[in-house]
Amino acid sequence: KAGVTQTPRYLIKTRGQQVTLSCSPISGHRSVSWYQQTPGQGLQFLFEYFSETQRNKGNFPGRFSGRQFSNSRSEMNVSTLELGDSALYLCASSLFGPSSYNEQFFGPGTRLTVL
């Protein structure tokens, strides 16, 4: 069974630009969560989607947004990039929605560098 896939794996952008990251969950998984990982802050929760609806949201500014499609694939968008947005962005999928006990399985991440 294929794992969680994320594209692209690496991105270099400049301040002020916007970026879209993509995540394909494990087949049959309906929930997708996004995290930002930096050396100083560790893994921080961005948002979770289930059945095309955002169910949970972390404490990030509105520049960070996402969506989920009917096939459970998800995209994350960051507008007006700042230097501090440089991080590893991780996507995780789980079988059930956020109201259930649920292991999350992570993709390899997208390394975003903002210059």
Partner 1 sequence: EDQVTQSPEALRLQEGESSSLNCSYTVSGLRGLFWYRQDPGKGPEFLFTLYSAGEEKEKERLKATLTKKESFLHITAPKPEDSATYLCAVQSQTGANSKLTFGKGITLSVRP
By CB under 8 A, name the binding residues for partner 1. 4, 33, 35, 41-45, 48, 55-56, 90, 92, 97-109, 111
Q: Which is nearer to partner 1, 44 or 86 (CB)?
A: 44
Instruction: Write the single-letter amino acid at 82.
Output: E
Q: Which is nearer to partner 1, 72 or 110 (CB)?
A: 110
CA 22 – CA 94 distance, rounded (Å): 16
CA 32 – CA 58 distance, rounded (Å): 14
Q: List, in sequence order, every residue forming a beta bridge with 92; answer none if it has no partner.
A: 33, 106
The residues near 42 (Cβ < 8 Å, ≥ 6 apart) are: none
Q: Which is nearer to partner 1, 45 or 60 (CB)?
A: 45
CA 83 → CA 1, 27, 91, distances in Å? Answer: 37, 35, 21
CB of 40 to partner 1, least distance (A): 9
CB of 59 to partner 1, least distance (A): 10
CB of 88 to partner 1, least distance (A): 8
Q: Which is nearer to partner 1, 20 or 88 (CB)?
A: 88
